[in-house]
């Protein structure tokens, strides 16, 4: 079993002290406004699960939990959030190069430029290290086009908590 960081073992039972500190920092990076939502689940790969290990559904709120409950269990190998009720996410696959910089010519640059002006709730590096999740307030319909995806309901997003800062020259994926 891997922890929230993708390392072997859960952060509570097997993870080293350094690993636990990093997992704590990543959870702390998530804005309080998102943490207060009762839309959290554990993850087993890209599959959402409940804190007790049973399957969770992106369309059944009865299978979702509070952030603290999800953060304090060792089931699965990570955590994520269910979108809906105004919480949406741009999923920009393969937008970052190996140095963590935005690739020139990637269609997601337009989204990044717009969100730099308008703001977003939280921007994180995805688990691949090559993509970004940009969380926003929106009820607009979901869509996909040219390597850019926008989801607004009925969708699970596995999170890393690795905050992306567009002002930094290099964003490290650890």
Residue-level pLDDT at 14: 60
Residue-level pLDDT at 152: 98
Tell me the C-alpha distance between 74 and 6, whole Å.
13
Given a contact cutoff of 8 angstroms between Cβ atoms, the answer to whether 132 and 96 are in contact is yes
Residue-level pLDDT at 92: 97
Tell me the C-alpha distance between 85 and 96, whole Å.
29
Which residue ranges make up each domain of the chain?
17-82, 87-159
Residue-level pLDDT at 9: 37
List of the chain residues with pLDDT < 50? 1-13, 169-174
Residue-level pLDDT at 163: 94
| Stated pTM of the model | 0.85
At 63-85, the pLDDT tens digits run: 999 999 999 888 889 999 999 99
Given a contact cutoff of 8 angstroms between Cβ atoms, the answer to whether 57 and 35 are in contact is no
Residue-level pLDDT at 165: 82
Residue-level pLDDT at 58: 96
Partners of residue 49 on adjacent β-strands: 42, 55
Residue-level pLDDT at 121: 96
Classify residue 129 as left (phi > 0), alpha (psi -120 to 50) or beta: left
Locus of tokens 């910089």:
101
Residue-level pLDDT at 17: 83
Reported in sequence order, the residue ranges of the chain that DSSP labels E, i.e. its strands, are: 40-44, 47-49, 78-82, 87-92, 122-125, 132-137, 143-145, 148-151, 156-159
| Residue 138 CA to its chain's centroid (Å) | 17
Cβ partners under 8 Å of residue 149, min gap 6:
90, 91, 92, 93, 142, 143
Residue-level pLDDT at 21: 84
Helix (H) or strand (E) holding 29: helix 17-29
């Amino acid at each position: 079993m891997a922890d929230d960081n993708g390392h072997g073992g859960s952060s509570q039972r097997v993870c080293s002290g350094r690993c636990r500190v990093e997992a704590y920092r990543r959870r702390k990076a998530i804005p309080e406004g998102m943490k207060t939502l009762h839309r959290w689940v554990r993850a087993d790969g890209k599959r959402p699960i409940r804190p007790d290990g049973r399957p969770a559904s992106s369309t059944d709120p009865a299978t979702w939990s509070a952030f603290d409950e999800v953060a304090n269990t060792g089931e699965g190998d990570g955590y994520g959030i269910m979108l809906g009720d105004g919480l949406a996410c741009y999923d920009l696959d393969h937008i970052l190069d190996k140095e963590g910089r935005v690739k020139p010519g990637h269609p997601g640059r337009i989204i990044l430029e717009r969100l730099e002006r308008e703001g977003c709730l939280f921007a994180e590096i995805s688990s691949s290290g090559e993509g970004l999740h940009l969380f926003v307030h929106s009820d607009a319909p979901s869509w996909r086009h040219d390597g850019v995806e926008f989801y607004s309901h009925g969708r699970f997003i596995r999170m890393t908590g690795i905050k992306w800062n567009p002002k930094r020259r290099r964003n490290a994926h650890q």
